[in-house]
Structure 1
Amino acid sequence: MATTVRSIVLWRREIENQPGALASTLEPFASAGADLQIIMGYRYPGNQAKAAVELSPIVGKKLATAAETAGFKASGIPALLVEGDNKPGLGHAITEAIADAKINLDFLVTQVIGRRYSAVIGFESAEDAKKAATLIKKTTTRKVKKTTTRKRK
């Protein structure tokens, strides 16, 4: 199956880092019938009291209203959702192509389930995200080189 690359909007909210905070933050979306594909929750490094939740997609007026009512705002960070068949070395090939183009990442979250992978990648600008989308498509359509690891003496 081909790799898909699409722009997404992450919705973000800061929360208190305490038991049950994530569950109560997600409740309005469950009540509104949201089918969230991305949920990222994390504590701030160096600040154990604060955390953030980012999620997507928020589509339609009903979900946008639920998100805003729950304190979420559309993040200003341009992001891509990349999905495809996993291959050894693919993560390296994608990040190397982006690096070679002098594009800096804001963040990268990737996971593999079975033979498929998905990645959410954040960028400093919409222009960088657009360039990276083209590079990712090119990189994933050609054969990934196997990297060799030298043994240390």
Structure 2
Amino acid sequence: MDLLVERADVWAADIQDRPGGLAEVLDTLREAGADLQFIIARRRPEKPATGVVYVTPLQNDREIRAAAQVGFNVTQSLHSVRVMGPDRPGIAAELTQKLAVGEINLRGFSASVIGKQFVAYIAVDSLGDANKAMEILSKV
């Protein structure tokens, strides 16, 4: 199967848990020209009135400067691998099974299908695990 497997730097920022909190930081990135491929936002129950947003990619100095202005930093504790390829039934099960056999513990897994293609973001705990996951998935 022809899969595109690559590392993806994930950027994170705290956001205010209120209407428009997410829109404000995303608008700043849009104004800087960011063409985001992946966004996850959620509340932080351990920190009332606060949420967190994760995005990828930020690709140039202008985007990174704008991101820094609204509190984004590249995450040091979350390492991500992006996998893209032709969709078919069971592809997520196959990918996660290969990683399990390779003893890769997943921190997170998100996937979506658009048309006939799927994209998955696989979060792991270390750069070593990300590199190993890429090696495993490159052979699928």
SS in 2 for 1:25: helix
> What is the rounded CA distance, in whole Å, between the counterparts of 2:44 and 2:97 in structure 1?
28
- In structure 2, the partner of 1:113 is 114
- In structure 2, the partner of 1:91 is 92
> What is the rounded CA distance, in whole Å, between the counterparts of 2:67 and 2:29 in structure 1?
7
- In structure 2, the partner of 1:66 is 66
Output aligned runs, 1:25-36, within 5 Å: 25-36=25-36
User: Under a length normalisation based on structure 2, what TM-score does the superposition of the two structures give?
Assistant: 0.92
User: Under a length normalisation based on structure 1, what TM-score does the superposition of the two structures give?
Assistant: 0.84
Structure 1, unpaired ranges of 5+? 140-153
SS in 1 for 2:132: helix
Output aligned runs, 1:76-87, within 5 Å: 76=76, 77-87=78-88
What root-mean-square deviation, in Å, do the aligned CA atoms of Structure 1 and Structure 2 show? 1.6
What amino acid is aligned across from residue 135 of structure 1 in structure 2? I
- In structure 1, the partner of 2:42 is 42
> What is the rounded CA distance, in whole Å, between the counterparts of 1:46 and 1:62 in structure 2?
32
**1:21 to partner: Cα distance:** 0.8
**1:125 to partner: Cα distance:** 0.9
> What is the rounded CA distance, in whole Å, between the counterparts of 2:97 and 2:2 in structure 1?
20
**1:47 to partner: Cα distance:** 5.9
Q: Percent identity?
A: 32
Structure 1 runs (4+) greater than 2 angstroms displaced: 44-50
SS in 1 for 2:121: strand
Asked if structure 1 preserves the Cα contact closer than 8 Å seen for 2:16 and 2:22, the reply is no
What amino acid is aligned across from residue 109 of structure 2 in structure 1? L
- In structure 2, the partner of 1:134 is 135
> What is the rounded CA distance, in whole Å, between the counterparts of 2:14 and 2:108 in structure 1?
17
> What is the rounded CA distance, in whole Å, between the counterparts of 1:91 and 1:37 in structure 2?
19
Structure 2, unpaired ranges of 5+? none
Determine which structure has more spread, i.e. the larger CA radius of gyration.
Answer: 1
Note if 1:51 corresponds to 2:51: yes
- In structure 2, the partner of 1:101 is 102
